[in-house]
Structure 1
Amino acid sequence: MFPVAIVVGGLFGAAWAFIPAYLQAKRGSHIVITTIMFNFIASSLMAYLLVDILKPETTMATESRVFAASSWLPKMHEILAVVGIEMAPSPMNLSFIFALLCCVFVWLLMWHSRWGYEIRSVGSNPSAANYAGIKYVKIIILTMLISGMLAGFFGLNVLQGELHQIKLNFVEGFGFTGIAVALMGRNHPVGVLLASLLFGFLYQGGAELSFEYGVDRNIVVVLQGLVILFSGALEHMFRPSLERTYLKLFGKKQAEQQAEKGVA
């Protein structure tokens, strides 16, 4: 079931992102506004499906039946045990490996392909990219289709690896957390991977501390806010002093090397 879930999740995610992409590319609609509005449409659609279509007749809870055990994602400690590696039991499952593969795919696409160069060009300066012959409409739609596909993969971990059924509001606001992760990771796969691990530690650690020691979970929200503040809003706070220090240390040496090359 895992390959089928990958294909279906990716295709539906891409299809869901197509309309906001088309509206921005053709009509100039702001992508943030349209996608947030589509969140409400998706929420209403999920409520209808869970209440009238997917909900078993023997329950009143807004959730689907439990998936067959054969469709559950294996845990990482179970996979490693097969090859003789001991690991403490944890909720981490096979989707973690798939997420790493997605990071590699995005890195290769963005920095080692012509499409990636066009995407970065349009993101940096749409007017200059259009003047250089890059098709704005095609790039916007392509980028959103890939983004929607990656977003569709999110359900693999939650539905097949954790809940093993569809519940209302199972997303739990992780889409907005993704914005903070992308901001902190500077939209680079390596940075996003590290930032997502940090936020994952904060979420899981906050839940454990709240459950076992009675620590207020709002402390985790405060920590997340501070992380976003210092990595996002104050990212240029120390940049001028760091640039001056760098130029003092390496600027003179680089100038001498360039002068030597010029003489040669």
Structure 2
Amino acid sequence: MGTITVDDGTEIFYKDWGSGQPIVFSHGWPLSADDWDAQMMFFVQQGYRVVAHDRRGHGRSSQTDDGHDMDHYADDLAALTAHLDLRDAVHIGHSTGGGEVVRYLARHGEARVAKAALISAVPPLMVQTDANPGGLPKKVFDDLQAQLAANRSVFYREVAAGPFYGFNRDGVEPSEAMIQNWWRQGMMGGAKAHFDGIVAFSQTDFTEDLKKITVPVLVMHGDDDQVVPYADSAPLSAELLPNATLKTYEGFPHGMPTTEAETINTDLLAFIRS
């Protein structure tokens, strides 16, 4: 574990375990590298080097008041990969982290990258526009910001106990440990970063970025995702990517890397080894 200081003085916390081909994980909003525990433990035991960082303003990284946009997220990731001199890497992004991976590949190139995987990811574009009629109305994201500003602790508890893991679905038994761990990670970060991050993950258009990516990309998404709706995300990203494989999971929620870790890890391993 360590930190790097990027050009604007922001400190980025990261974990770096094991040896072998590197797998780099980019987490979702408003979490931290800890959200990848199930994946990092699995892959380090499979003989891979696993790296995960806390996005700026999240987890143990600096709670800076600016730079909470996809360009900065991508630049921070590029600084980390250069600092660690990672090559032939597999980049895996969940939710907002999927957007981070896409922007990193499009903005910084693929020289260090072998493959990528997007899990429950926000691209191509979440918000509804004339060009994206299937997106969610901007009011949805404005309401998220209002709830965060009013009482972040209550808001994060409701997200984790409800739509994120699908615990609000009939017949699904909530895991109190998962809910508390999600809340813990969220509250470690900065409210300003998370507030601004809602705009970053919802209003960034990744259409042109996706078209530039030539490495193999596995697009993984549950069809019961209540946070990033399936129809306006994964299938559209797969169409835009020149070298994509779409894998759809019936009934899986947004937080499927945690709730369905065994399935997700097995499929990621098969993709990386293929």
| TM-score interval for Structure 1 and Structure 2 normalised by the shorter chain | under 0.3
Q: Which has the higher strand share?
A: 2
Q: Which has the higher helix share?
A: 1
Query: Structure 1-normalised TM-score?
Result: 0.25
Query: Structure 2-normalised TM-score?
Result: 0.24
Greater gyration radius: 1
